[in-house]
Homo-oligomer: A and B are copies of this chain.
Amino acid sequence: MIFREFYNYILQTDYKVNEELPFPVNSASFGKGGVLTKYNEIEKKVYFIQSGIVELKIKGYQTEKIIDFFFENEMFCALTSFLTQTPSDVQITAITNCELDMVLYDDLILAYESSLEANKFARIITEQGYIRKAKREKEFLVETAEERYAKMFATHKNYISEIPVNKIAKYLGIHPESLSRIRKKLTS
């Protein structure tokens, strides 16, 4: 899917390829390992993934922690930094090759002034971002690592083999060896 299709899907509209959206959309490519947003950088872009996987890391109490993975047909950015235009406390890295669409902060802010549609789209995307965060908070409070892995596996069956095991363990907040035990149990 490209961003325009995603936009049509979210708003139930039908923009054709040559019609202008309320804000310009550009494309970008990142190779595996490429850093999209650095720690302390102010986020100026929001991305849509045509293909690939990215990870969001945060500097934890003692180690770095992975707080999210984003996959095909999802939007991402260092959202707190984007919304507040303050330095990012997360770092975003492509963990596979990525084909992306992107929208610039300044273009979006301009569209917000007069476009009902731009506000509606951003409201819905932000709602989804909120739901995602709340879900993850709940999972940490009420589910075991095994349940969380099983859920992640169920939702992203096609992609999960592309993420190194140590990254999945870092995301679940467990030791890689504990994850190996969980994986064996689930696949047996």
Closest-CB distance, A126 to chain B (whole angstroms)? 5
Q: Within the complex, what minimum Cβ distance (angstroms) separates A98 from chain B? A: 23
Determine if A65 and B130 form an interchain contact, defined as CB atoms under 8 angstroms apart: no
Q: Are A136 and B137 in contact (CB under 8 A)?
A: yes
Main secondary structure of the interface of A (DSSP, over half): helix
The reply on A135 being an interface residue by CB < 8 A is yes
A31 at the interface (CB under 8 A from B): no
- Asked if B83 and A127 sit within 8 Å, CB to CB, the answer is yes
Neighbouring B residues of A123 by C-beta, 8 Å: 112, 119, 122-123, 126
Q: Is the CB of B134 within 8 A of A80?
A: yes
B-contacting 9-mer, from A40-48, A53-61, A157-165, A174-182: A53-61
Q: Is A131 an interface residue (CB 8 A)?
A: yes
B134–A65 touching, CB < 8 Å: no
A-B contacts besides A61-B142, A126-B130, A140-B140, 18 pairs, CB < 8 Å: A58-B138, A59-B142, A60-B141, A67-B137, A80-B131, A80-B134, A80-B135, A89-B138, A112-B120, A115-B116, A116-B119, A122-B123, A123-B123, A123-B126, A130-B130, A133-B133, A133-B137, A137-B137
Q: Which residues of A contact B (CB under 8 A)?
A: 58-61, 65, 67, 79-80, 83-84, 89, 112, 114-116, 119-120, 122-123, 126-127, 129-131, 133-138, 140-144
